[in-house]
Structure 1
């Protein structure tokens, strides 16, 4: 496969799976093993090596000569961005979520849960008051009294 000559040509030729791998590498801070990349990018096992080889050939990724072992099975090769790859990632990184993004979202969710809990408590208080008013009105109606 002929290497793209310009950054724009490279971006145009990435396609969805290689773009997802670039986003995955960006998510992992510019260094990740092939298992992490595949899981994040959701690339099928059967095409993973093809896409990684292409990204290495295009000088977007480079193998760092390490293997990481996680659990049983063979180790996973480790890759990192090249300078060219980082420049490409800056343009591809439009939809990827970073670890900082995830932390920010967790904090926002926690704040929303606290707000929801406070609103739930206020709802219960108002519901109790409303139920009391309805009971009082029912008693007044039974006794034939007219509310003032």
Structure 2
């Protein structure tokens, strides 16, 4: 994963889990699920627990789903998963695949947070930083 766009986000740590790799930044988590994985509320709970340990319950976080691989998701678990992390303020989807970007419209039905869909990580980071700035301006 290469971020070139002068982000303000500081890299903290990367965790390689059974379902994928997760990179934790100051206020963002970038997840890359492995090929063929079926993502459920249960197996998505592990990276959320790591995020809870790193960020606590008040630090605003944006999740960026870097969709390099083909995998399936159980959308029914979205609501439960989002509730586990109350300081989650937005969700970005990055994919070169047009079909995967179109699926984002379905995800908007399950995630009641701002969602951005992008072709590259730099654009997702810029959008997420704007969302974080807007959030901090209204929640100082």
Q: Same fold (TM over 0.5)?
A: no
Looking at CA atoms only, which structure, 1 or 2, has the larger radius of gyration?
Answer: 1
Larger strand proportion, structure 1 or 2?
2
TM-score, normalised by the number of residues in structure 1: 0.25
TM-score, normalised by the number of residues in structure 2: 0.26
